[in-house]
């Protein structure tokens, strides 16, 4: 049986840039599904995981940078359609 990470509590998300998130927590933070999450990594929009043994973790800083890139892309796309 696989141990699942608990859902993120929006009132208790670490603001520390070096806080580590599991894949599930990172997907919840970004509000994306599994396929989209790994597509973001493949396209270079999200930093590849930090490997700690067999575990994969993403820094809060990397998630914030991904949100920034996604919002920049959205702004450019929206501006082009006007």
What residue spans define the domains of the chain?
20-80
Q: How many CB atoms lie within 10 A of CB 75?
A: 10
CA distance 69 to 57: 20
Average pLDDT on 64-73 reads 92
Whole-number pLDDT of residue 81: 56
The stretch 9-28 carries a mean pLDDT of: 84
This prediction has a pTM of 0.76
* pLDDT above 80: residue 32: yes
Would you give the distance in Å from CA 55 to the centre of its chain?
A: 16
Instruction: State the pLDDT at residue 22.
Output: 96
């Amino acid at each position: 049986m696989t141990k699942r990470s608990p859902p993120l509590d929006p009132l208790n998300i670490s603001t520390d840039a070096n806080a580590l998130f599991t894949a599930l927590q990172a997907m919840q933070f970004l509000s994306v599904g599994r396929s989209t999450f790994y597509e973001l990594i493949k396209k270079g929009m999200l930093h590849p995981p930090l490997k700690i043994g067999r575990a994969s973790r993403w820094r809060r800083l990397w998630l914030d940078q991904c949100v920034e890139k996604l919002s920049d892309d959205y702004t450019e796309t929206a501006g082009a359609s006007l």
